[in-house]
Structure 1
Amino acid sequence: MERLTAIPIRLAQGVALVALAWAIGGLPTQAEAQNRPTLGEILEAAANKKPDPNARPNKPGVKKRGLLARSNQFLHVERIKQNLQIALVLDGTESMDVDIDSVRQYLGSFVDGLRNAQPDSPNATLGISLVIYRDLDAPSGPVQMVLPQFSQDPDQVKSALQGVQTETGRPWFNERVDQGLAAAIEQLDWAPRDADAVSTRWVLLCGDAPPYPEGVDQRGYGNTELVQKANAKGIEIYSVLCNSGFNREGEENENLRETALRLRPKAADFFDQVASGTNGSFLDLWDESTVGDLLDKIPSKSVDYLRMAEITDDVISQFKRDQKTSTADAGGDPEQYGPVTMAILPPMPLQSMSFDPNVQAVQVAVELKSKFGTLPGMTIISPAEIESSFEDLKSMPEFEELSQQGPNAFVESRLIQRLADNLGAGYVLWGKMNEQNGQLRLASELYNALDGKLIEEASEQVAQENDLAMKNLAQFVAERLCRRTVPKLKEMQVDPYTIATFSSAYANREVAEQFRTEFSEDLRALRGVATAIHALGQAVEHLKKDQLEKARQPLAIAEAQLKVASQIDPDNPFVHLMLVSVYYNLAEMNDIDDYVTKQNQHLLKAYTLREKFDADHPARLEIEADYALLAKHDYPTAVELYSKLANDDPKNANYALRAHWMLAGIYLGDWGTNQEAPEVVDLESARHHILSILAFWPASSQAKFYRQAMENSGEGYTEVEVGGLQASRN
């Protein structure tokens, strides 16, 4: 019987059917003159994620994503670490006066949003510096270091902005933008590279004119040189090509507008190259589709929200104590397992590390993830987070040299420890795969995040022509590793709950049965499903960033692989649920009824196949709950079924986490409840499920979502607006 414990249709599994769909977000301000967003509004919106209360109702069967569901389309706030440094590099010429005024206006909310996006830490810092560039004839010179040190005082930054006076851009239309950017990179006191694990470095480059062409005397730095300088210091550049100064009336401005339009391709090319070359983003406000997309997502600030009772760290701690007491009073074990957090890397060398879903090592990593994900108390870091953090490691100067020296250098350099720190993981699973003489050998190595050292390893070698052995290879190695790891953990005097989590893979009959069950009994179908899981996870990450075109290819890969798997293994409910995920996201992207029809067909097929499970099996309950919610819109039944899963025992913790996530959304008024069944909306119940996630799955993607989505209101509490309702958190 195919195991459905790791059904990847929730955020925690990285290939969410809902992704963050019920947290519909949008830019949080109204457009000003000529119905165009100002620079200040854009920066505020990029740091503050709010839902769009004016979004049109969704038609049955299709749930539209919002900006929040796809992360932010400009600033990568999800990458922010404990210490954030931002250099505002602004064009200070006369045509930028409206934009600089708007930055002054929205600076406070911009800073508040970024602070809320930082990890919770008493040591968190946020410093801002200010660099102004113009041209040679400007009275203040071509480059002005207005705030040459990173200031953690927003009032000081605002005061510095207040003191900026726009000046002439003469003698030519081009500006010394390259020199302003170079000054920020070279002259500011950026955090050293050995602080990468806790440091984020940004340049926000905003202007409306290109630099002088490369090769002329007025040009100081080439595009490639600037990118190299920024990458050497770990700086990401986010650029905005502005145009508000060219939208005024008058003959002189019309001439400027014509010049700006003529030189726009050169300006866009520069701003885009320095951003994309440093893993940042570029916004072109001349692009009407970009402006239209921004305006479509700008909600009104006058909407009234219901306010949920506050959620503070003390409230979370008390909730956890109360729940444990309640469980103990009922005769249960209040905390038998975990929490354990693990990051799983594809088993391959550093220099060739890949996250391509078609690569066999990546598919094996998905299988290992599904195995360890069944263990009670275990949270697996999403592959998307791992890929992003690994890319950060690759940008470090010493990475290339270390990768050539082999895996020992990677371990001894403490890069594994840095990776784990970035991800919030307690353990890292890595290893290698080798093919030789028709044999495939898989070796898995478990590392401790505290010191980056190897705890234990396990391996297995099988004949590649033996489908049964190949199908079970990941399970063989994973179970052997757990058996070998437990004695080592005892020697290390690790807490008994962590030991119980690892030992449950073989010592607990119910868990072991799930641990040993594959996605499919057919090797080809299993490989196809593993490929689809990873591809769908990549697609969802692109969708969260509003990168629709980039999402199409991995969705196509997932669809193709699952179609083949459904032909090989037609009665596998897991395959049909995966196809529901694919068509759900395709329907959101394209708003095509055919995708909705296919989604519902596969949901019905999975529902029909639910009888393969016992009546009280959590996989069956979850299928029935999804069917009640998505197909029948029977909200009371969906709540009843999800509630059974949420209250299940620790051995089904992954189901419980997904159930809490779904229930929070339903009670907050999403999934159609606010329109179709308002009597189901219940803020106190939603708060209970949010608290459950924050208290018992603090390292999960769902918990990270709540912590990142809550933003400072300036009134002593913070707000997260979801499904037309508003929750608060100190």
Structure 2
Amino acid sequence: MIKERAWIAEIHLSGIVVMCALRLRWCRFSFLLFVAFGQGVTFAQNANPDSTEAVLETIFSPRRAPRARTMGLVQRSFLDLLEVTRPKLEMALVIDGTESMGAAIVGIRHALRQMVEDLQRYKADVSFQIVVFRDEGAQSGVASFPLHTPRIAQQDGTQLRSFTSDPEVLREGVEQIQIESGAPYFPELIDLGIHRALTELNWSRAADVSRWILVFGDAPPFDEGFMEAGSRARRRIATQQLISTAKRLDIRISSVLCNSRDEDLVSYRGVLTKTQQFMNRLATDTGGLMLDLSYADIRNAIEDAARIQRVRYRQIGKLTQESIAAARKQAREQQTSVAEQRRIRLAVLPHVLLADLQSAGAFDPARTEVQIAAELRHHWRAVPGAELASSLAVERQVMRFKSQGIRGEDLLPALATALRVDYLVWGSVLEKDGRLQIQSVIYQQATGQELLRHTVGSSGQLPVVEVMSRLMNRLVEKVIESGADPRLAAALELIGAGSLAEHRLLQPVTDAVDARAPLLKGFELLEKALAYPVGSAEGTPLLRQSRRELELAQRADQQNPLVALLLANVAFNEGQALLRRGQEDTARVHWERSSRWLKSAFARRAQARFSYLRLEIEADYALLIKKDFAGAASIYERLAETRMENPLHTTLRAHWMLAGIHSGDWGVAHAPAAATLIDGAQVRYHLTQILAHFEESSEADFIRRQLRWDDRNGENRFEHFPQIHDAVAEQIR
């Protein structure tokens, strides 16, 4: 799963990966990696795009556009400009056609189709023109119009070149751009190219049309007043005249300052400040933007964005704040498990002394204290309405407080506030002669006091694998008996004797003593690995360690479907890392391994310790292996119901999977069932449920970003949902 700098992966013990933004405080977990919001690389696209190609591939795509600040844009992005424009758009591309721009022109040719498709998702009517400028010595002349479009006669007798919305005409025109000498000097006639775009094109005057010029160049114009008789080089149009003409015609001028070829770098750098000043003034004074590719960090951000997977889209229409509020009201009135008043938020810390929590290795997955915290998170999620902060969120907050000098007893209230939890669970562990004594404490954020504590130890009659179940049972009993916290007691009282929730609460993750430690360690290592970018020096070895631990767990507990699911996850992510490095054949081996582990989990689903785990395995198997999309949707519908036996993370994931299925993702669009399954209204319903009840989840963050959610107007500005799992569906069989 390829990630931006802000992304972190989190996992639930009963399942596998979702991607979560670091700034989010809550994540609800999914069973399978296949629901991850990875930005992976397809097999067909360019893994190393030119910077200019990358610009056109990304800046008009909500999915692939880097953040505005990443591109050096302080307040607005190109998407922001696009979203506030009128229903129709006319765009003139003004391109430097000299030798130093050779790579950039090739990039424009490659990316033009993608740019047109991106723009057409926003605007039903988009039309184009192209102006190519050069210098006095060019064989094709100082400027040319490579598009073969009709000329429109004007009342004064002049003829203006029309715009075209025909992508084939546009493609043919770009292919005809000739790269010619820019002699005698590095400055070019960029001023003339922009002026011709302003004055020789048939710009619409209609009120519903936005008018843009997008300039691509690597050199400034000649200085104003410059003229040389011998070479005929001279400045043609003053900058202020260009700005005044653009304002009169209501045309925005944006610029992309491209890189130059290696042999021109000395000249390029010598006039770079002038190029920046010229382009920046045009953009600033006409309401456009300037994207400066002379900065390495901006180039890297754009090129990385262009490697994000190209996907298909499904138009789904508008989500609204009113529909989100209505969903919340309905849950509140019906008192379902997703209603806000039913939520219980907790964070579980490694069971080490508070004085040692900020020491080196306190969060090491090899430590028994960390494995105990992982298992406790698993048990606490059985409580109806419970949400658990991730171990990585806890670790990073603890380390942040260490740098701020917050330590010891002061950690508890600080952590509870920062993590926005109602309760912290922490404690200590004594280990001797293979036996454990565990003390667990519940800290109440509302009072800032310890709520209760309990100690339990393993023995010949109470094996290690059952200690945590005994501990949870006594903690629940004490909360209810004491009556000290009516809210937590009310949540725990919903767990009826003999119920599925009680079964989840008290069941150990494994009955095999030899499997417990490697299972919990492998799980924690996997979670840490996925906090890093795919293929990174930090994450790759953690994946390998996780695989080794989980293989040990699998050998000790071969019938446990959970272990098979985690191994499927590891194999998937190792394949993604290899794919990122261009090792496609080796990546496919890991994808096949991931498929085998999923099939193994399905074969052992009867041994699943929880009903929802069995159902999710069956749903994922139907979706990914059998390609029984209708059958998968039916099971996910059951899991999306707000029943007590369905944990919140399962409800969230079910809504997410159903949104994908009804949008045509997962290969549904190409299946016979597409006619009955693809439904924009159903997509809106499930996305609304996520935004209403899981607003701080990674899924909600993904929805808001991909659909360009507008808080001010309470609706999405982009109406197309990406089908991000088609490539995965092709590989997992």
Q: What TM bracket, shorter-length normalisation?
A: 0.5 to 0.7
- Give the 3-state SS of the residue equivalent to 2:456 in structure 1: strand
Query: Residue by residue, what CA displacement relative to the aligned partner does 1:97-155 show, whole Å, maximum 9, x if unpaired?
Result: xx97x657749959x9xxxxxxxxxxxxxxxxxxxxxxxxxxxxxxxxxxxxxxxxxxx
Is 1:629 the counterpart of 2:637? The answer is no
**Cα 1:445/1:387, change in 2 over 3 Å:** same
- Could you tell me which residue of structure 2 aligns to residue 587 of structure 1? 575
What is the match of residue 349 of structure 2?
Answer: 345
**Any idea what the Cα deviations from partners look like across 1:543-565, whole Å, max 9, x if unmatched?**
4xx56332212211221112111
**CA shift for structure 1 position 535:** 1.6
Give distance in 1, aligned partners of 2:651 and 2:520.
Answer: 23
Taking structure 1 as reference, are residues 529 and 438 closer, same or farther at Cα in structure 2, changes over 3 Å only?
A: closer
Give the equivalent residue in structure 1 for 2:659.
664
Match of 1:309? 318
Pick aligned residue for 1:293 from 291, 300, 304: 304
2:478 is paired with a residue of what secondary structure?
helix
Range 512-521 or range 348-357, more displaced: 348-357
8 Å Cα contact 1:504-1:512 kept in structure 2? no
Match of 1:693 in 2: 690
Give the counterpart of 2:480 among 480, 486, 494: 486
Match for 1:420 among 416, 421, 443?
A: 416
User: Kindly tell me: are residues 304 and 351 of structure 1, through their superposed partners in 2, closer, same or farther at Cα, counting changes over 3 Å?
Assistant: closer
How many angstroms apart in 1 are the aligned matches of 2:698 and 2:297?
A: 36
Show the 5 A alignment for 1:16-55: 17-18=32-33, 21-22=36-37, 24=39, 35=52, 50-52=62-64
Match of 1:393 in 2: 401
Aligned-partner SS, 2:645: helix
Judging changes above 3 Å, is the alpha-carbon distance between structure 1 residues 625 and 377 closer, same or farther for their aligned structure 2 residues? same
Paired positions, count: 492
Q: What is aligned with 2:465? A: 471
Superposed CA deviations along residues 395-414 of structure 1, whole A, max 9, x for unmatched, are: 21x23xx3xxxxxxx33x3x
Residue type of the alignment partner of 2:572: Y
Provide the rounded CA distance (Å) in 1 between the counterparts of 2:40 and 2:469. 40
1:709–1:482 Cα change, 3 Å: farther
Q: Which amino acid aligns with 1:573?
A: P
1: distance between equivalents of 2:698 and 2:423?
17
Report the equivalent of 1:601: 596
Q: 1:23: how far off? A: 6.7
Deviation at 1:573, TM superposition (A): 1.4
Pairing partner for 1:454 from 440, 450, 474: 450
Distance, in Å, in 1 between the alignment partners of 2:309 and 2:562 is: 39
Give, in whole Å, the separation in 1 of the partners of 2:337 and 2:367.
42
Q: Please show how residues 151-550 of structure 1 align to structure 2 within 5 Å.
A: 252-253=266-267, 285=296, 292-297=303-308, 306-312=315-321, 314-323=322-331, 338-348=342-352, 349-352=356-359, 354-396=362-404, 398-399=405-406, 402=407, 410-411=408-409, 413=410, 415-436=411-432, 439-463=435-459, 466=460, 468-488=462-482, 490-492=483-485, 494-495=486-487, 498-504=488-494, 507=497, 509-543=499-533, 546=534, 548-550=536-538
Higher mean C-alpha deviation, range 314-323 or range 446-455: 314-323
Q: For residue 18 of structure 1, report the CA deviation from its aligned partner.
A: 3.0
**1:572 CA drift (Å):** 1.4
In 2, are the aligned partners of 1:565 and 1:575 still within 8 Å (CA)? yes
CA contact (8 A) 2:529 2:543 kept: yes
**What is the distance in 1 between the residues matched to 2:711 and 2:329?**
30
Alpha-carbon distance, 1:351 to partner: 3.2
Residue by residue, what CA displacement relative to the aligned partner does 1:25-76 show, whole Å, maximum 9, x if unpaired? 99xxxx99961778xx99x98xx99324xxxxxxxxxxxxxx99xxx8997x
Give 1:604 deviation, angstroms: 1.5
Take 1:469 and 1:648, find their aligned partners in 2: how far apart are those partners?
35
Alignment correspondent of 1:137 = none
- Range with greater deviation from structure 2 (418-427 or 523-532): 418-427
Partner Cα distance (2:30, 2:368) in 1: 19
- 3-state SS in 2 of match to 1:442: strand
Q: Separation in 2 of the partners of 1:530 and 1:486?
A: 29
User: Alpha-carbon deviation of 1:438?
Assistant: 5.9
Paired residues of 2:397 and 2:415 also in contact (CA < 8 A): yes
Go from structure 1 to structure 2 and tell me whether the alpha carbon gap of 1:73 and 1:625 turns closer, same or farther (over 3 Å shift).
farther
- SS of residue matched to 2:666: coil
Q: Please state how far the C-alpha of 1:253 moved relative to its aligned partner.
A: 2.8
CA distance in 2, matches of 1:580, 1:671: 18
Judge conservation of contact 1:645–1:659 (CA < 8 Å) in 2.
Answer: yes
1:365–1:635 distance in 2 versus 1, CA, 3 Å: same
Q: Is contact 1:468–1:523 with CA below 8 Å preserved after alignment?
A: no
Task: Tell me the percent identity.
Answer: 22
Residues 513-558 of structure 1: CA deviation (Å, up to 9, x unaligned): 2222122111221211111221221222224xx5633221221122
CA deviations on 1:132-185 (whole Å, 9 max, x unpaired) are: xxxxxxxxxxxxxxxxxxxxxxxxxxxxxxxxxxxxxxxxxxxxxxxxxxxxxx
Q: Which residue is 2:215 aligned to? A: none
Q: Give the deviation of 1:506 after TM superposition.
A: 7.0
Greater radius of gyration (CA): 2
Q: Judge which range, 246-255 or 436-445, deviates more.
A: 246-255
SS at 2:463 equivalent: helix
AA partner of residue 589 (structure 2): D
Matching of residue 652 in structure 1 with residue 646 in structure 2: yes
How far, CA to CA, are the matches of 1:723 and 1:467 in structure 2?
54
Provide the C-alpha distance between the structure 2 equivalents of 1:347 and 1:74, rounded to a whole number of angstroms: 40
Task: Specify whether residues 245 and 22 from structure 1 end up closer, same or farther in structure 2 by C-alpha distance, changes over 3 A only.
Answer: closer
Q: CA 1:685/1:712 → structure 2, altered by over 3 Å: closer, same or farther?
A: closer
- Alpha carbons of structure 1 residues 715 and 474: separation in structure 2 relative to 1, 3 Å: closer
Distance 1:626 1:347 in 2: 35
Task: From the superposition, tell whether residues 509 and 304 of structure 1 become closer, same or farther in structure 2 (CA, over 3 Å).
Answer: closer
Corresponding residue SS for 2:430? strand
User: Quick check: 507-516 or 288-297, which moved more?
Assistant: 288-297
Is the 2:365–2:521 contact (alpha carbons within 8 Å) kept by the matching residues of 1?
Answer: yes
Letter in 2 for 1:364: I
User: Can you list the C-alpha shifts for 1:228-257, whole angstroms capped at 9, x where unaligned?
Assistant: xxxxxxxxxxxxxx9978779868536769
> 1:342 touches 1:378 (CA, 8 Å); kept in 2?
yes
In 2, are the aligned partners of 1:19 and 1:540 still within 8 Å (CA)?
Answer: no
Change in Cα spacing, 1:423 to 1:531, as seen in structure 2 (3 Å) is same
TM-score, normalised relative to structure 1: 0.58
1:563 pairs, out of 548, 551, 556, with 551
